């Protein structure tokens, strides 16, 4: 057995520049100044996680640990920059040899040094998303006959399948069976395309984004000398947001730490909400099992929220069985109790939020310090309409308002074309969804269609019910001879769909028009073109329900057009941002905080999501998502739900059940607000 001889870092007598006693609370200080060895830091929401990790790096440097022996892994470049800047501020300098960055950035840096081991040159290229899509398209053209390509998933969907397989360490069969079961009949061909894609990346000496992790793990697993070098090189490892790691990232971390076990991971199991994109909560939950000697530190002092909000957060998360129990404790003074607001329906919920937002603004809270959070973007459709009517400026975190997403514009373009055959934008959007028709072809077909329409129509106003022979479908069929062979069958299908949409009875039922577009081909288009087909279909189902409230398609299109004056979130020149209410899904709000938070649509089947509840451990992740929503609030929290909601079908009951998460909150922790109509 080899005998270990410890090399102590040589340094002149160390004098700590940082007053840890003054700068950190006792829980933070205990974690920051802990001795070497594995450590799990459970940092609750608003407890100063970044501060703890930053001071840990500074403490190690002050103890004489050489900077190049420290590795700090984060999930975003912004987080890495922020931490390294804080270290520089604390120490007065930032050692250039300190290793810090995202998993992908560090993987790239290490792979450059060992690329030949994996069959790549040191100057291998990296494919960005667009490059990868282009390469996948060439593989599709070579592996899938043109006649079958119309019914085969597009490059963007294949990229998602391949990425999940890489990051979850699953076979393509497992990924397709679990997430894309509607493609199971195509599995053999998908596998062939994947094989060709991997061969062509190798031949071109390039890696895609996922390869930076997968090849890094391959290097550590299959090349013992390289593994030993990096194990010896990194004496201390620190990992941020550990609850968001996937199986590949966790395996990389464990291999790097296998020699010294000087691994500190920081995160919050109660905020593990990205299971749908590969994050595995078991990595943090099972850390003490993988490292039995690990110290577990809990940082429960919360600097963000009032005690009343934290009491609700603590009560909410208590129901989860798989967790590290913790109790967030506030340092801020008392505030109002969170309010639970039952609304008659979606419209009253929207009216309440809009009115209360304006009251808060008049009381001194700027709009950009107020957020409305929800489980899915379609939950805010009614609210967006209400805010627009009241001219309350708002922004949407995703950067795309609900009705401006591609699938929404695709479907409404069909309706617009039937209503106004001279709408060239709608026409060209619709026909470009057909195989083999690009921008040039669409423009050429538009001129032909327009000529046909103008020749056939007999003085009718645009938008009137077409006379016989002057219908949109008749004009489409007249243009069919100019359509290429690739699109011929699809063009005929489009003409049949438009014939149905032109029915005068159907035009008085815009919701049913949307469902007809879905049933007559667009649902298949969704499956083939979007990896998140199910959520996009759900959006369209909700749009159809909303459209059911209109007596004809004209009013529906006019009302939805009102939302076009809502600007997407965009930083203005000079860094100035306008004062606007923030609308966001909870997922996109993680890491943010607001003075006032509204969480809307807290009904069973919506929050928690009915689809998520079908998954194993789905309820616990949904509860963590609600916990994240609650802990975004600093001063005031409003939890709302409608008693009535437009049903998905005529057979479904519109009466809603309040979310189980609301029922789990003790009544004494909240105020119940009863809404009543105005008295004139």
Which residues are known binding-site members for ATP?
A: 43-50
Tokens of 109: 């840096």
Measured between alpha carbons, how far apart are the two ends of the chain, in Å?
90
CA-CA distance, 451 to 430, in Å (whole number)?
18
Bridge partners (DSSP) of residue 394 are 581
Contact indicator for 53, 238 with CB cutoff of 8 Å: yes
| Residue 285 backbone zone (phi > 0: left; psi -120 to 50: alpha; other: beta) | alpha
Q: How far is CA 663 from the centre of its chain?
A: 27
Q: At which residue do the structure tokens 């699109």 appear?
A: 487
Q: For residue 373, give every residue at least 6 positions away whose Cβ sits within 8 Å of its Cβ, in sequence order, or none.
A: 584, 585, 586, 589, 597, 598, 599, 600, 629, 632
Q: For residue 21, give every residue at least 6 positions away whose Cβ sits within 8 Å of its Cβ, in sequence order, or none.
A: 29
Question: Known binding site: residues?
Answer: 43-50
Own/partner contacts of 79-88, CB < 8 Å, gap of 24 or more, are 79/50, 79/240, 79/241, 80/105, 82/50, 83/50, 83/53, 83/54, 83/57, 83/240, 86/50, 86/51, 86/54, 87/54, 87/57, 87/58, 87/61
CA 142, 143, 145, 146 torsion-angle sign: negative
CA-CA distance, 558 to 563, in Å (whole number)?
10
Q: How far lies 134's CA from each of 110, 139, 158, in Å?
A: 27, 9, 12
Nearest of 198, 195, 205 to residue 116 by alpha carbon: 205
DSSP 237: E
**Following DSSP, what letter does each residue of 87-155 receive, concatenated?**
HHHHHSS--TT-EEEEHHHHHHHHHHHHGGGGT--TT-EE--HHHHHHHHHHHHHHHS-HHHHTTS--H
Contact indicator for 252, 167 with CB cutoff of 8 Å: no
- Tell me if residue 486 falls in helix, strand or coil: helix
CA-CA distance, 264 to 56, in Å (whole number)?
9
CA-CA distance, 316 to 338, in Å (whole number)?
13
Bridge partners (DSSP) of residue 639 are 340, 599
**Following DSSP, what letter does each residue of 630-669 receive, concatenated?**
HTTEEEEEEEEEEEE---SSTTS--BPPBPHHHHTS-GGG
Q: So which residues are the catalytic ones?
A: 49-50, 240-241, 271, 632
């Amino acid at each position: 057995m080899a005998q270990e001889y410890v090399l102590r870092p040589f340094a002149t007598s160390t004098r700590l520049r940082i007053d840890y006693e003054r700068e950190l609370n006792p829980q933070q200080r205990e974690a920051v100044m802990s001795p070497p060895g594995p450590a799990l830091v459970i940092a609750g929401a608003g407890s100063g996680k970044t501060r703890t990790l930053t001071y840990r790096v500074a403490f190690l440097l002050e103890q004489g640990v050489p900077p190049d022996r420290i590795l700090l892994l984060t999930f975003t470049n912004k987080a890495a920059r922020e931490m390294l800047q804080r270290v520089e501020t604390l120490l007065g300098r930032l050692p250039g040899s300190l290793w810090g960055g995202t998993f992908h950035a560090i993987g790239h840096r290490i792979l450059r040094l060992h690329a030949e081991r994996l069959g790549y040159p040191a100057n291998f290229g990296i494919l960005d998303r667009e490059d990868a899509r282009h390469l996948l398209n060439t593989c599709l053209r070579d592996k899938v006959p043109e006649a079958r390509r119309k019914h085969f998933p597009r490059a963007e969907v294949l990229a998602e399948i391949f990425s999940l397989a890489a990051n979850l360490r699953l076979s393509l069969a497992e990924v397709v069976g679990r997430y894309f079961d509607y493609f199971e009949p195509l599995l053999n061909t998908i596998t062939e395309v994947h094989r060709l894609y991997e061969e062509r990346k190798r031949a071109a000496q390039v890696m895609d984004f996922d390869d930076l992790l997968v090849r890094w793990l391959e290097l550590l697993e299959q090349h013992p000398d390289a593994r030993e070098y990096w194990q010896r090189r990194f004496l201390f490892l620190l990992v941020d947001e550990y609850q968001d790691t996937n199986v590949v990232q966790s395996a990389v971390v464990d291999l790097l730490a296998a020699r010294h076990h000087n691994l500190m991971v920081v995160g919050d199991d109660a905020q593990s909400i990205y299971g749908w994109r590969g994050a595995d909560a078991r990595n943090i939950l099972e850390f003490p099992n993988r490292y039995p000697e690990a110290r577990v530190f809990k940082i429960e002092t919360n600097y963000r929220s009032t005690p009343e909000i934290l009491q609700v957060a603590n009560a909410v998360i208590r129901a989860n069985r798989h967790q590290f129990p913790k109790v967030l404790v506030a340092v801020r003074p008392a505030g109002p109790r969170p309010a639970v607001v039952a609304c008659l329906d979606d419209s009253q919920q929207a009216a309440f939020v809009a009115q209360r937002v304006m009251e808060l603004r008049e009381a001194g809270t700027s709009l950009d310090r107020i957020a409305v959070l929800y489980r899915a973007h379609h939950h805010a459709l009614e609210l967006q309409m209400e805010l627009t009517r009241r001219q309350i400026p708002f922004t949407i975190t995703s950067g795309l308002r609900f009705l401006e997403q591609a699938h929404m514009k695709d479907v409404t373009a069909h309706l617009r074309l039937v209503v106004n055959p001279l709408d060239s934008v709608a026409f060209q959007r619709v026909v470009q969804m057909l195989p083999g028709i690009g921008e040039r072809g669409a423009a050429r077909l538009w001129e032909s269609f327009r000529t046909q329409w103008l020749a056939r129509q007999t003085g009718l106003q645009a938008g009137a019910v077409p006379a016989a022979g002057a219908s949109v479908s008749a004009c489409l069929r007249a243009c069919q001879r100019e359509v290429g062979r690739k699109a011929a069958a699809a063009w005929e299908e489009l003409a049949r769909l438009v014939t149905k949409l032109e029915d005068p009875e159907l035009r008085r039922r815009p919701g049913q028009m949307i469902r007809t577009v879905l049933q007559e081909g667009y649902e298949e288009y969704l499956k083939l073109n979007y990896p998140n087909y199910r959520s996009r279909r759900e959006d369209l189902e909700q749009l159809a329900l909303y459209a059911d409230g209109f007596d004809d398609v004209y009013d529906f299109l006019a009302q939805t057009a009102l939302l076009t004056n809502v600007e997407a979130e965009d930083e203005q020149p000079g860094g100035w941002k306008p004062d606007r209410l923030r609308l966001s899904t909870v997922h996109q709000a993680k890491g943010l905080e607001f003075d006032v938070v509204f969480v809307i649509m807290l009904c069973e089947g919506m929050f928690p999501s009915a689809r998520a509840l079908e998954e194993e451990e789905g309820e616990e992740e949904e509860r963590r998502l609600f916990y994240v929503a609650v802990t975004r609030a600093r001063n005031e929290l409003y939890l709302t739900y409608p008693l009535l909601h437009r049903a998905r079908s005529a057979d479904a009951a519109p009466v809603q059940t309040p979310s189980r998460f609301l029922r789990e909150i003790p009544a004494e922790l909240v105020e119940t607000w009863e809404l009543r109509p105005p008295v004139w």
